[in-house]
Structure 1
Amino acid sequence: MKSLTIGKHTVPYPLIQGGMGVRVSAAGLAGAVAKCGGVGLIATAGLALNSDHTDKKYFEADLLALKDEIRKAYEIAPDGVIGTNCMVAVSDYDDIVRTSCEAGAKVIVSGAGLPLNLPGLTVDYPDVALVPIVSSVKAAELIARKWHKGFGRLPDAVVVEDPDTAGGHLGEKLENIGNGDYDQYETVRGVKAYFKEKWQLDMPIIAAGGIWDRDDLERALAEGADGVQMASRFVCTEECDADPAFKQAYLDCTQEDIGLIMSPAGLPGRALKANIDQVRAHDIDGNISCPSGCLKKCAYKKDKERFCIVHALDRAQRGDRDTGLIFCGTNAWKAHKMETVAEIFAELFD
């Protein structure tokens, strides 16, 4: 099993741990994955909540909490590759990216929108690897052209996310998900070929969505990917930062419990759907006003539609299975036991 090099950073195993907010993948999980030889990602969305800085205003607390988590992750894995997952859709995206660099993140993975200005935000940190998330060759082409024209830079790797299997926010229209038209590995090979033919680059392409076990990993590599991104598999680990009740929801769920919802961010998302009415009722019937303004565009902030995404995710991470929103991939039902990150690496990489 070959190593994975992204920009100037190499890890022994071709695995990135996907970012899971709010605080599902924070320092504990990211540090453990990096210590085992993968890329550990801290999900930056909503870190202000449930932090040591709740006495501060939301955006100030967000940046302070991000610095805390990166520092804690490096305490676990001093020589590891720690990065952040930064959502384009959040209001303080620019500050989150810059603070990630200042605090020592070696990789920035960015999705939930097209990160067209990401190189400009990181110009003072050329060693930080930049990795956009796409679901189509067209999106990869657009990012490459914009980055090259505006900043003289190209991605250091590209994550190709499968909207039919991935968890959390998905970069595809709701009506296009699950209709049988999408072929993840055709997209992987298409993005790979584009960078080879247009830019003469052997671009590392990371397959994300639906990766659970060694068979999935080996298939991804055989189909042309250079590595995989895994998120849901790491939830039921001792090191995952979520409350035990959150992890138990994965252990209890069935395949039928997993479905699509519409986020107030304007993006579809995959989650445990049984309690979605309670999630809405908590925020709408409770007449809760937008507490943070965390998103650039938000149906709840504007018209009190759906629910407050950051607080719904925060409630779940704290263990509220009644009114908390629990994101997951299509394979979350395969979780049957608690394990450690090291045990997962041993299974995947023998």
Structure 2
Amino acid sequence: MTAINAIRMGGVEVLPLVEGGKGISVSNGKTSGHWAASGGVGTFSAVNADAHDASGAPILEVYRGRTRRERHEELVDFAIRGGIHQAREAHELAGGAGRIHANILWEMAGAERVITGVLEGARGLINGITCGAGMPYRLSDIAARFGVYYYPIVSSARAFNALWRRAYSKAAELLGGVVYEDPWRAGGHNGLSNSEDPTRPEDPYPRVVALRKLLRSFGLGETPIIMAGGVWWLDEWRDWIDNPELGPIAFQFGTRPMLTRESPISDAWKKKLLTLAEGDVFLNHFSPTGFYSSAVNNAFIRELRERNERQVAYTTEPVGEHVAEYGVGPRRRSVYLTPPDLARAHEWEREGFTEALRTPDNTLIFVAPEKAREITADQIACMGCLSQCRFSNWSEHEPDYSTGKKADPRSFCIQKTLQAIAHDRDDPNSVENNLMFSGHNGFRFATDPFYSNGFIPTVKELVARILTGR
């Protein structure tokens, strides 16, 4: 058994066990409140969080705006209202134990407006803000305004160095901890840099040692580092605990809290988690954010992979080997392919993939007519959920709210699919036909004896199990 001692985080003593924030509507007030009540740090997602009606049912988001900009404003209002609701529920359930954190993604649209609105509407109920998916320089300013602690999520010492020198050094007293999120093992969006190979995972230990050395150079030797990604049994991390080279360490659990009785995900989703095999979680580059992300390799991901494989480069004039004329769109406008690619295009057409869609990289992808209609409809219905979206070419920045690039049909509407898998509880196929984020250890549900015979614990039982080291 690995001994687990309390750690000082956010100004109090807590168990070094942190619930990872998962949007949309997956980490909520109920899960985070119970996690905090068990003595750890509960985290609810403030990314388009659900509000609930008087009966306790989630209030589904219905957009009435005629333009993207109008729908974006509705989305921000929904997110603030939902975040306040979840904060209140978490605070009530925690009963003064542990800590309650709100998680946001810096690359979500209106991130600063949303978290500011939530903190204003839930004053005194939230103890910390965790934030990743981008470089959240303004995070420390927001924390200082409301007197809460902040926890940036980084995947390297270099990233934290930039954040510290530009902004965080001005609010050092409120830096509650630094989350090291392993870019090869964590679920959801990952912080792989251009110089890192997605197919070659690196040992997290030297990367975290480098982060600790940097923190000590800034006088932050006692600031906790929270290890996120790949954590399952603490016995497997015993060399990290009470290790003077690493200093204060806590551990974040993102995937495991999904399989609890308090978790709001559907029964079909929970059953799917219990059947995952090693390799079923796929590190992919399809997200409209432009980040890599880790998701279950279900029918949704397979369709994206196949869609991207049916792709050829084109030119608008005959150039080099691109001499084979091909007509694109209803007006059959001419582009030029290589002869081998023209043969491939005709083969895809014979298979039913008759619609050629242009990408921003001067390539064509081939899809069936119904998929083409779905892609176009989703792009038109965009509600501006990201700061920049490569799928719809939305940008939250004025004057034209556009990335300035063509919309990219190789990606997808992330808001649509995450809302669907979170709320289509009565559709057993929802877990196959939507984006299903997971950490790479998700396959261990099927092999861990704790979950034998389909056992699903309460949050309290899960935390108690983790404290045994196993």
- TM-score, normalization by structure 2: 0.69
Which position in structure 2 is the counterpart of 1:42?
A: 44
Distance 1:211 1:49 in 2: 31
Query: 1: CA distance between counterparts of 2:420 and 2:239?
Result: 36
Q: Is 1:4–2:7 an aligned residue pair?
A: yes
Residue 78 of structure 1: CA displacement?
A: 2.3
The answer to whether the Cα contact below 8 Å between 1:52 and 1:65 also exists between their aligned partners in 2 is no
2:385 equivalent among 277, 294, 298 = 294
> For residues 10 and 249 of structure 1, what CA distance do their matches in structure 2 show?
36
Matching residue's letter, 1:340: T
Aligned to 2:297: 273
Deviation at 1:200?
Answer: 5.2
**Paired position in structure 1 for 2:227:** 207
Offset from partner CA, 1:67-111 (integer Å, 9 cap, x none): 011111122112131111110001111022213422121111110
Q: For residue 187 of structure 2, what is the aligned residue in structure 1?
A: 167
Distance 1:212 1:53, change over 3 A: same
1:243-258 pair list within 5 angstroms: 243-258=266-281
User: Which residue pairs with 1:345 in the alignment?
Assistant: 463
Q: Unpaired runs of 5+ in structure 1?
A: none
Residue 129 of structure 1 corresponds to which residue in structure 2?
Answer: 149
Of stretches 144-153 and 286-295 in structure 1, the one that deviates more from structure 2 is 144-153
Q: 1:138 pairs with 147, 158, 171, which one?
A: 158
Q: Secondary structure at the match of 2:241?
A: helix
**SS of equivalent to 1:199:** coil
Q: Identify the residue that residue 72 of structure 1 maps to in structure 2.
A: 89
Q: Which residue of 2 is the match for residue 114 of structure 1?
A: 135
CA shift at 1:5, angstroms? Answer: 2.0
User: Quick check: 1:316 aligned with 2:418?
Assistant: no
TM-score, normalised relative to structure 1: 0.91
What's the counterpart of residue 195 of structure 1? 215
Percent sequence identity over aligned pairs: 26
Structure 2 contact 76–114 (Cα < 8 Å) conserved:
no
Structure 2 residue identity aligned to 1:301: S
Q: Which structure 2 segments of 5+ residues have no match? A: 53-57, 64-73, 308-366, 394-406
- The separation in 2 between residues aligned to 1:152 and 1:347, in whole angstroms, is 35
Alpha carbons 1:39, 1:83 under 8 Å: kept: yes
Please state how far the C-alpha of 1:300 moved relative to its aligned partner. Answer: 1.4
Which one has the largest radius of gyration? 2
Query: RMSD between aligned alpha carbons?
Result: 2.4
Please tell me whether the aligned partners of residues 51 and 85 of structure 2 are also in contact (alpha carbons under 8 angstroms).
no
Report the AA paired with residue 92 of structure 1: G
Question: Residue deviations 1:20-69, cap 9 Å, x none?
Answer: 11111111211111111111111122225984263572211110011011
- Which range moves more in the overlay, 148-157 or 83-92? 148-157
Q: For residues 156 and 86 of structure 2, what CA distance do their matches in structure 1 show?
A: 32
Distance apart, 1:272 and its partner CA: 0.4
CA shift in 2, pair 1:265/1:48, >3 Å: farther
User: Structure 1 counterpart of 2:461, which letter?
Assistant: E
1:148-186 deviation per Cα after TM superposition (whole angstroms, max 9, x unaligned): 465566632101111111110001147724444623121
Q: Choose 89-98 or 170-179, whichever is displaced more.
A: 170-179
| Equivalent-residue separation in structure 2 for 1:299 and 1:28 (angstroms) | 33
CA distance 1:209–1:113, change in 2 (3 Å): same
Pair 1:31 & 2:33 matched? yes
Specify the code of the residue in structure 2 equivalent to 1:296. Answer: S
CA contact (8 A) 2:295 2:439 kept: yes
Which residue, out of 321, 325, 329, partners 2:439?
A: 329
Match of 2:102 in 1: 84
Letter in 2 for 1:184: P
**Count of matched residue positions in the alignment of Structure 1 and Structure 2:** 348
Say whether residues 1:15 and 2:22 are aligned partners: no
SS at match of 1:300: coil
**Structure 2 residue aligned with 1:184:** 204
Output the amino acid matched with 1:22: I
For residues 212 and 250 of structure 2, the distance between their equivalents in structure 1, rounded to whole angstroms, comes to 12
CA distance in 1, matches of 2:298, 2:457: 26
